[in-house]
Amino acid sequence: MRKFLLSTIAAGLLAAATPALAHEGPALDKQVWSWQGVFGHYDKAQLRRGWQVYHDICSNCHSMNLLAYRNLASLGFTADQIKAFAAEKQVTDGPNDQGEMYQRPARPSDHFVPPFANEQAARVANNGALPPDLSLMVKARHGGPDYVYSLLTGFTDPPAGHVVPDGMYYNRAFNGGNIGMPPPISDDAVTYADGTKATKDQIAKDVVSFLNWAAEPELDQRHALGVKVIGFLIVLTAMFYALKRKIWADVH
């Protein structure tokens, strides 16, 4: 009985310790991200480039409903730049005094204007596939930023014998291999405002960083707070230790 219990506990521990191995699906191309680790933080210049990639390329098909233009202020864009980004798009507002809805340029307080009016329109434009909203995409997929990076750089020729249906593309990171998204990026697909060389790899890293910020904008503050808390605990521990030595000094 004891033996049985012990082996059950051992098996349970082993299973708990190896959740990563339980994941099925294509291997991920793991990257080093600036925000990882306790001292990690976002690189604002990279986030601004990532916004440019989303703006120039991804936003033609993907919405980001949870973000408002004014949120871009924390990437270091000026109020005028943000106003200009918003004003590129039209939104429906109203009703006005005549009881009619009307179109007006978007304002910084508006959420990102989606590329399609509704799901059907999005599917019609994409061979039946639905481009998902990207606001929380990095959190929604196993592997997070490494997965999205692997997906963006994972378009290759299919392995021999693999059939790719019409209107689909082979991607080695996508489960099953066939995806309805055409390869969105390539070398020089954008011309960076800050002069950074736009290799495919750079573009993928920048847009993934931007998507990570979108899903976890408070990360920098959280890390800064964590470091302060650890510092506080170290000081507190040192004080208690000194106190303990003083109190017990006379006991031999």
The half-sphere exposure of 26 on its side-chain side, counting CA atoms within 13 A, is 20
Residue 206 C-alpha from the chain's centroid = 10
Nearer to ligand HEC, 163 or 249 (CB): 163
**CB of 212: closest distance to ligand HEC in angstroms?**
11
Using CB under 6 A, pick the residue from 12, 25, 167, 182 that binds ligand HEC.
182
Stretch that binds ligand HEC, among 5-13, 28-36, 60-68, 224-232 (CB under 6 A): 60-68
**CB of 118: closest distance to ligand HEC in angstroms?**
15
**CB of 173: closest distance to ligand HEC in angstroms?**
8
If one asks whether residue 62 binds ligand HEC (CB under 6 A), the answer comes out as yes
Q: Which residues contact 14 (CB under 8 A, 6 or more apart)?
A: none
Stretch that binds ligand HEC, among 1-9, 28-36, 99-107, 131-139 (CB under 6 A): 131-139
**CB of 182: closest distance to ligand HEC in angstroms?**
5
If one asks whether residue 28 binds ligand HEC (CB under 6 A), the answer comes out as no
Size of the site for ligand HEC (CB under 6 A): 23
Cα–Cα distance list, 13 to 1, 2, 3, 17, 77 (Å): 18, 17, 15, 6, 49
If one asks whether residue 215 binds ligand HEC (CB under 6 A), the answer comes out as no
Nearer to ligand HEC, 57 or 164 (CB): 57
For residues 104, 105, 108 and 111, what is the CA-based torsion angle, rounded to 10 degrees?
70
What track of x and - describes contact with ligand HEC for positions 91 through 110 (by CB under 6 A)? --------------------
Using CB under 6 A, pick the residue from 41, 141, 172, 200 that binds ligand HEC.
141
Q: Which of residues 143-162 bind ligand HEC (CB under 6 A)?
A: 148, 151-152
By the 10 Å C-beta count (0-12 exposed, 13-18 middle, 19+ buried), 195 is classed as exposed
Contacts by 72-78 with C-beta closer than 8 Å and gap 24+? 74/217, 75/44, 75/47, 75/48, 75/51, 75/213, 76/44, 76/45, 76/48, 77/48, 77/51
If one asks whether residue 176 binds ligand HEC (CB under 6 A), the answer comes out as no
Residues belonging to the chain: 252
**CB of 129: closest distance to ligand HEC in angstroms?**
4
If one asks whether residue 47 binds ligand HEC (CB under 6 A), the answer comes out as no
Q: Give the C-alpha separation, 169 to 175, whole Å.
A: 12
Q: Give the C-alpha separation, 38 to 89, whole Å.
A: 38
Assess contact for 110 and 69: CB atoms under 8 A: yes
**CB of 178: closest distance to ligand HEC in angstroms?**
7
Binding site for ligand HEC (CB under 6 A): 53, 57-58, 60-62, 126, 129-132, 137, 141, 148, 151-152, 179-182, 184-185, 207
